């Protein structure tokens, strides 16, 4: 909540205006006046309950529930009970009213939704429990448990989180980082999995705006310039399509859109390319009303549109995506193709029926609405199956909160492929799954007894990674049983947990084997297996149980590789000796909430090796139990993972000037360009002699007149790096040069 003060005439005017907008949106979704009356009653009740209360931004608090209700109806497409629950979602938590009061006024279903939302709010906002190591993980477990009660609770929570992201500028920085990391780790994948693309895209853009403000502003400016330049060309591209569809008798609309800043940034980072190298920047969406008078099905009409437009323009065969025949596991259906315009730019065209477009924009809510109204067959959809699978994971007694959070996160971000049984039955399975995963997806007994597989009639090992369209037959033997080595290549949670269940029966044997393996490895490195070493390893491998048996078991069962053992022990020694203590960091003003060991507030700062931040990067720190702060880039996936799980350990370090202390940092630059005699010599000479920069590693190769590779070198800070990139870009032949991860 926020401060309490008298509202003025302007406040009442803003409340009335925002509610009028909501009422207009609700009118389109409510089926009769009775439902609208309940929405009105909920608004009046919430407005009175929050009277005089303001948010951190200074605006009346009631504007938040109104905004959440508007997202619920406009972006997600839920009905009046969800609109009412959204309006009331903070009343029980922040005022003297109880769930029973809500029940007596608005009925059981609304009360249940509000109760679910109140539980989530209580656990997410309760920072008094911050000493619990996995408080965030426990919180998310509780959020996802509401999937068991009513998925609408999670959908309204997503609307609540989206509005909190929209107003995140009013939060203190450490709280902002916690919220953004939680959003990236769980809420964004959850929105994607439930088909809420508009919610997902907006959250992603807000995440980028605050995590990498310079990149966000630069990309946004380039998009705006490009759109202005290319708008005429896009219109010229659309005109013949418009004429041809009209002539064919279609009822349709055509919309233009451009990639979001986050999707561009993500592509630039993942593929190591520049903005100028993204060729599918623009998309055109054709949304048609299916003609019920024709014998053509809705799907046939999609292909009909495809044949018309590919008769006008050349298309890129490897960029056709048929989600009409094979819908995505979140219910998304459309036909995508990329066409070459007459002016020479690639434009993605998305073909959808009105129903497909509703599902693409409103996700699960539209999917259920069409199912209920008889537009879809009654079979269980992939989305329904996923929700059933999540419920199954949530009620498992063997899974602790941190493991569960990782499972759900991984499950949210996976994509599926389509494969076939020997009889031609179609099945979807996680991308990257093996033949053995497939065996377990058929039946536990088949998985346990598997010895090999035939894929497309060819004999392959159980570790074979499946591809879309593969037909798989599993070969079994009665005396076969699960092996520890299987855990090295199994991908799906179901298969891994079934093998683990089997191996748990041999837990004591695994503990014995694991202890012996650890002793041998430690001995080889010159260490003894004692309490001190065990404490270091338990923390290094993030095992929070009090007894070392869990560590031994994981090693013995093959769940934990000892390849990183030397690094963990070495880092522990370096921390102790202080050789990693960097003085170019200083904490921002000390926060009471984040008490730092030592009365003088000094820490040892460690640069995270996963993302190697340099001065000038936006950074976030995580405080370890020994007082060490590990510093990551704000956009580092590991940092987002940690902040989502251990939000109470976040500290906000600030760079000091590294130049004054003559400190340098290792970065990698990836280069591509046109080969010419002497270009490699020019690049190295320029870096070493003209710019006086120290090169650590050089890896460039040339093939068919093109060179590609990377250079690892040392710089003082981001300013130096930017200057270096700008100067290198002037060398003849270099086409692109970008900073990439080491």
CA separation (Å) from 379 to 332, 369, 373?
Answer: 16, 14, 14
- Residue 94 annotated to the active site: yes
- Decide if 134 contacts 645 (C-beta within 8 A): yes
User: Which string of b and e fits 283-308 if b means at least 16 CB within 10 Å?
Assistant: bbbbbbebeeeeeeebbebbbbbbeb
In eight-state DSSP terms, residue 184 is I
Give strand pairing partners of 458.
Answer: 455
Distance CA 596, CA 630 (A): 14
Residues in Cβ contact with 346 at an 8 Å cutoff, skipping those fewer than 6 apart = 279, 280, 316, 338, 339, 340
Distance CA 671, CA 294 (A): 55
Question: Can you tell me which residue has the tokens 């010229």?
Answer: 236
| Angle at the Cα of 368 from the Cα atoms of 329 and 304, rounded to 5 degrees | 65
Q: What is the 3-state secondary structure (H, E, C) of 600-664?
A: CCCCEEEECCCCCCCECECEEEEECCCCEEEEEECCCHHHHHHHHHCHHHEECEEECCCHHHCCC
Residues in Cβ contact with 364 at an 8 Å cutoff, skipping those fewer than 6 apart = 151, 155, 194, 195, 196, 330, 331, 383
- Residue 280 annotated to the active site: no
Distance CA 702, CA 700 (A): 7
* Active-site entry in 35, 59, 94, 276: 94
Residues in Cβ contact with 53 at an 8 Å cutoff, skipping those fewer than 6 apart = 1, 2, 3, 4, 60, 61, 62, 94
* Active-site entry in 59, 93, 291, 506: 93
φ, ψ (nearest 5 deg) of residue 654: -135, 135
- Decide if 713 contacts 694 (C-beta within 8 A): yes
- Decide if 196 contacts 412 (C-beta within 8 A): no
As given in the structure block, the two tokens for residue 323 are: 């989600």
Task: Provide the annotated active-site residues.
Answer: 93-94
């Amino acid at each position: 909540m926020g401060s309490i003060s008298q509202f003025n005439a302007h406040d009442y005017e803003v409340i009335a205006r925002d509610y009028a907008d909501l009422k207009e949106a609700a009118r389109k979704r409510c089926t009769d006046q009775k439902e609208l009356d309940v929405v009105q009653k909920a608004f009046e009740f919430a407005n009175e309950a929050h009277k005089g209360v303001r948010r951190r931004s200074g605006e009346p608090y009631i504007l938040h529930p109104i905004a959440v209700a508007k997202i619920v109806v406009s972006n997600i497409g839920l009905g009046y009970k969800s609109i009412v629950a959204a309006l009331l979602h903070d009343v029980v938590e922040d005022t003297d009213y109880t769930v029973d009061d809500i029940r007596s006024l608005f009925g059981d279903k609304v009360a249940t939704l509000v109760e679910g939302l109140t539980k989530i709010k209580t656990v997410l906002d309760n920072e008094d429990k911050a000493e619990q190591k996995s408080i965030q993980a426990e919180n998310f477990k509780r959020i996802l448990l509401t999937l068991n009660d009513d998925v609408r609770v999670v959908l309204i929570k997503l609307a609540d989180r989206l509005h909190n992201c929209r107003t995140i500028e009013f939060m203190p920085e450490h709280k902002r980082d916690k919220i953004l990391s939680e959003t990236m780790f769980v809420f964004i994948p959850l929105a994607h999995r439930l088909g809420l693309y508009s919610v997902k895209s907006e959250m992603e853009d807000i995440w980028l705006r605050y995590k990498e403000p310079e990149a966000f502003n630069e990309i946004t400016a380039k998009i705006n310039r490009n759109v202005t330049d290319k708008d005429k060309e896009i219109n010229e591209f659309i005109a013949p399509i418009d004429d041809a569809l009209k002539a064919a008798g279609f009822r349709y609309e055509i919309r233009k859109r451009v990639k979001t800043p986050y999707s561009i940034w993500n592509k630039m980072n993942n593929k190591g390319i520049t903005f100028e190298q993204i060729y599918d920047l623009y998309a055109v969406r054709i949304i048609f009303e299916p003609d019920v008078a024709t014998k053509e099905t809705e799907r046939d009409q999609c292909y009909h549109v495809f044949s018309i437009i590919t008769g006008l323009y050349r298309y890129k065969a490897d960029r056709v995506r048929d989600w009409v025949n094979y819908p995505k596991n979140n219910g998304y259906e459309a036909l995508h193709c990329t066409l070459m315009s007459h002016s020479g730019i690639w434009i993605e065209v998305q073909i959808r029926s009105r129903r497909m477009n509703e599902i693409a924009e409103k996700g699960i809510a539209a999917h259920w609405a069409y199912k209920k109204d008889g537009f879809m067959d009654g079979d269980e959809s992939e989305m329904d199956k996923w929700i059933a699978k999540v419920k199954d994971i949530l009620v498992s007694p063997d899974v602790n909160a941190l493991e569960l959070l990782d499972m759900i996160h991984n499950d949210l971000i996976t994509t599926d492929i389509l494969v076939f049984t020997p009889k031609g039955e179609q099945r979807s399975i996680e991308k990257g799954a093996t033949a053995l995963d497939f065996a377990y997806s058929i039946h536990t007994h088949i998985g346990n007894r598997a010895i090999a597989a035939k894929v497309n009639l060819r004999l392959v090992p159980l570790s074979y990674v499946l591809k879309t369209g593969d037909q798989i037959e599993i070969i079994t033997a009665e005396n076969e049983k699960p092996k520890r080595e299987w855990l090295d290549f199994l991908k799906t949670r179901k298969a891994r947990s079934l093998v683990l269940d089997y191996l748990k029966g041999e837990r004591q044997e695994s503990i014995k084997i694991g202890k012996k393996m650890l002793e041998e490895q430690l001995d080889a490195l010159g260490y003894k297996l004692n309490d001190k070493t065990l404490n270091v390893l338990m923390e290094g491998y993030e095992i929070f149980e009090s007894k070392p048996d869990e560590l031994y078991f994981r090693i013995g069962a093959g769940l934990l590789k000892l390849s990183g053992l030397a690094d963990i022990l070495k880092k522990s020694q370096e921390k102790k000796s202080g050789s990693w203590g960097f003085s170019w960091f200083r904490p921002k003003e000390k926060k009471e909430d984040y008490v730092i060991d030592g009365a003088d507030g000094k820490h040892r700062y460690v640069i995270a090796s996963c993302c190697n931040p340099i001065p000038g990067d936006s950074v976030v720190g995580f405080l370890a139990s020994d007082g060490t702060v590990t510093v990551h880039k704000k956009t580092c996936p590991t940092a987002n993972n940690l902040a989502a799980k251990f939000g109470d350990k976040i500290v906000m370090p600030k760079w000091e000037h590294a130049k004054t202390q003559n400190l340098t940092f290792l970065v990698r630059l990836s280069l591509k360009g046109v080969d010419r005699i002497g270009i490699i010599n020019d690049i190295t000479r320029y870096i070493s002699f003209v710019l006086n920069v120290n090169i650590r590693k050089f890896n460039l190769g040339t093939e068919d007149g093109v060179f590609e590779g990377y250079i690892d070198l040392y710089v003082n800070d981001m300013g130096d790096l930017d200057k270096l990139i700008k100067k290198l870009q002037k060398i003849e032949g270099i086409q692109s040069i970008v900073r990439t991860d080491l």
